[in-house]
Amino acid sequence: MRIYIVEDDSAIRELEQYALQSNGYEAVGFESSEPFWQAVHTAPPELVILDVMLPGEDGFSILKKLRAAPSLRRLPIIMITAKSSELDTVRGLDCGADDYITKPFGIMEFLSRVRAALRRAEPEARPNVYSFREILLDNARHSVTVSGAPVELTYKEYSLLRLLLENTNLVVTRETILQVVWGTDISVESRTVDMHIRTLRKKAGRRRKVHLHSAESGLQADGQRGGARAMKPRSMEEKISYLLFLMGFAGLVCTAALCIFVFHKAFREQAWTALEREADLVAAGCAQVDAPASWKLMWTARCASLSSPRTAVCSLSRPPTSRWRTI
């Protein structure tokens, strides 16, 4: 475990270096930033112990450069300084330091903070065996079995299946698949993922259905039976066509409703007109003949009992038209 110490005080630097070497660490000390950067480019460390006040380039500047480098962004860094104010501590932590120790400090505390920083920086242990129902992937032996029967896969198919098993019941985007399985090969198209999924289904699905389905722009492995298909996400043309279909259907429904309303209104107008003409005819007939007054009252009540206000006009109180008076 290689640890770099950047400290201009030789007594403190040698003390830290001795304590780390006594506990089995490979500690290398530097007095300034120039030899430190040369060593970092030659052999990157696993931990950096950085003083703030240094000749030339100070500790905060070195810290910012380390965090800006992609390969050193996750490097654990412990800052040690005589500045014990809260503002200096906040500044160091906000710049990217994993821990901040003020001078003077105890060796036991120093070693404990070093172990804690290294422990947090350890990558998570990846399992050697991935199981999913009858599918078993042995990462150590680089083998895949389905229901106990071996399945021959290519390197890309094996990497794709391992990625999906590592993210079971989670959506893995196509961009992630292309980046993890194919790396920086820009010539690979998104259609290649579909082809490999189809090949995986053919090989593993002979004995057990492998469920790989799409969710928006990603793929997902689930545990349902029945052989779900690896569907492609809908393209923009399909989405536009579907939207136009919905708009056309809605327009058709609105047109049909409008036609029904217009026909119903026209039918009502004709019905009321016919009823008014019938009332006029009866009224004219009663006026021409010497009908009893009781008949006239009965017909007037009959016309007035209809629900429409327009029908009430059809009562015998309305004078008959001149056309019927000539009869």
What confidence score (pLDDT) does residue 287 get? 61
List residues bridging with 51 in a β-sheet. 80
DSSP 278: H
What confidence score (pLDDT) does residue 271 get? 78
The span from the CA of 18 to the CA of 26, in Å, is 10
What confidence score (pLDDT) does residue 304 get? 55
What confidence score (pLDDT) does residue 41 get? 87
Q: Quick one: what percent of the chain has pLDDT higher than 70?
A: 71
pLDDT digits 0-9 by tens, 88-102: 888 888 888 888 888
Q: Quick one: what percent of the chain has pLDDT higher than 90?
A: 13
What confidence score (pLDDT) does residue 77 get? 92
Contacts of 78 (CB under 8 A, 6+ apart): 47, 48, 49, 50, 97, 98, 99, 100, 101, 113, 114, 117
Residue 182 has pLDDT above 60, yes or no: yes
pLDDT digits 0-9 by tens, 209-268: 444 444 443 444 444 433 333 344 456 677 788 888 889 899 999 999 998 988 888 888
Q: Across the chain, where does the E strand assignment appear?
A: 2-6, 26-30, 47-51, 77-81, 99-102, 129-132, 135-138, 143-146, 149-151, 172-173, 212-215, 218-221
Determine contact, residues 29/13, Cβ cutoff 8 Å: yes
pLDDT digits 0-9 by tens, 260-317: 988 888 888 887 777 777 777 766 666 665 555 555 555 555 555 544 444 444 444 4
Residue 201 has pLDDT above 60, yes or no: yes
Report which of residues 219 and 155 the model is more confident about.
155
What confidence score (pLDDT) does residue 192 get? 77
HSE-up of 123 (CA within 13 Å, CB side)? 5
C-beta neighbour count of 227 within 10 angstroms: 11
Determine contact, residues 61/80, Cβ cutoff 8 Å: no
For residue 259, the SS3 value is helix
CA angle 113–114–116, rounded 5-degree value: 60
The DSSP-derived string for 46-110 is SEEEEESS-SSS-HHHHHHHHHHSGGGTT--EEEEES--SHHHHHHHHHTT-SEEEESS--HHHH
Torsion of CA 214, 220, 222, 225, to 10 degrees: 30
Range with lowest mean pLDDT among 149-158, 169-178, 212-221, 285-294: 212-221
